[in-house]
Structure 1
């Protein structure tokens, strides 16, 4: 005797979406240097408020901010574009800092140099743009409050078309890559 279990179509759709979402999250995983990045925990990995089918064309997966006493720090994560057109982030704001710049790390004379990113971060249609230590990131300068592990830091990104999207990043300890976010901001420091 064969016993068949019937799964209601609605439940099947939810289960399928959950499985596809879990696989999609793995695509955003960094290359082999992942061991240097802080481990994300389910409770500490919120994403942006923009989701597919809403007014925001972007989400941010695994957003985090490097813990810091005061002064300078940076925010990271993966920008995900849910539209059929490129989306460009031109600025960011946060109550944590009155001076925030979109930065890149570029090779200048054989040395990595941190500098403002001309034109902002362009996220390709239906694609992603990774913000990571040693690469593109959101630089916070003049931070007057300590960023502790687990702190929840709100951000608003402004898009080239005038739209905005909000997300919350989590404070995480990070000691890899020898990044220095404590001096020379906006002056091509390394």
Structure 2
């Protein structure tokens, strides 16, 4: 008798528990729907990246820095001018070193590096290579080592007052037998102060 009575009371309790669990599951589902409907932060990030690219004066391709522990070193890249007007770079800065625009020139029968006082011109609809053995951005006195894999930030200044910042990765480089400090061997590009820090004659 008691067992039959117990069975009659258990069934409604089980049914009530099932309804309660279904309500809770439905409530969780609606909460998930609300969270997925919210806009993600990445949806608003793309326009700002596009705006920065649109403000750039030049396209800087494959920028890199010659790794060095101290003294002098160089930064290189391919600069692309996609506009219809010539662009002149008048200076460059970095947080790790004072900088100069440099070029290779013949002096006393030897190729030497010197400051490019007139700036670097990138013609309209053309590209300009900054490379070892040619024009480059010179880091004059490193405040800290620049080791392979380091990222160094540079800011270019243009003749019209605009600026552009880019980041270059440091790489080990021994090609062209270049020397960016006194003590170079014969036939190597010179950067001795007596030769390279004075304007071209």
Query: TM-score over 0.5 for the alignment?
Result: yes
Alignment match, 1:172: 171
Give distance in 1, aligned partners of 2:69 and 2:153: 18
Give distance in 2, aligned partners of 1:93 and 1:50: 19
Q: How does 1:80-91 map to 2 (within 5 A)?
A: 80-91=80-91
CA contact (8 A) 1:133 1:179 kept: yes
Q: How does 1:16-31 map to 2 (within 5 A)?
A: none
Give distance in 2, aligned partners of 1:119 and 1:60: 21
Structure having the larger proportion of residues in helix: 2
Alignment match, 2:143: 144
Alignment match, 2:23: none
SS in 1 for 2:137: strand
Going from structure 1 to structure 2, the CA distance change for 1:89 and 1:72 (only over 3 Å counts) comes to same
- Residue 103 of structure 1 deviates from its aligned partner by 0.2
Runs of 4+ in structure 1 displaced over 4 angstroms? 184-187
5+ unaligned residues in a row in structure 1: which ranges?
A: 1-48
Alignment match, 2:122: 123
Q: How does 1:1-190 map to 2 (within 5 A)?
A: 51=53, 54-97=54-97, 99-183=98-182, 184=191, 187-189=194-196
Larger radius of gyration: 2
Give distance in 2, aligned partners of 1:102 and 1:154: 16
SS in 1 for 2:121: strand
5+ unaligned residues in a row in structure 2: which ranges?
A: 1-50, 183-190, 197-201
Q: When the two structures are superposed, what TM-score results if normalisation uses the length of structure 1? A: 0.69
Structure having the larger proportion of residues in strand: 1
User: Number of matched residues?
Assistant: 139
CA RMSD after TM alignment: 1.9
Give distance in 2, aligned partners of 1:157 and 1:58: 10
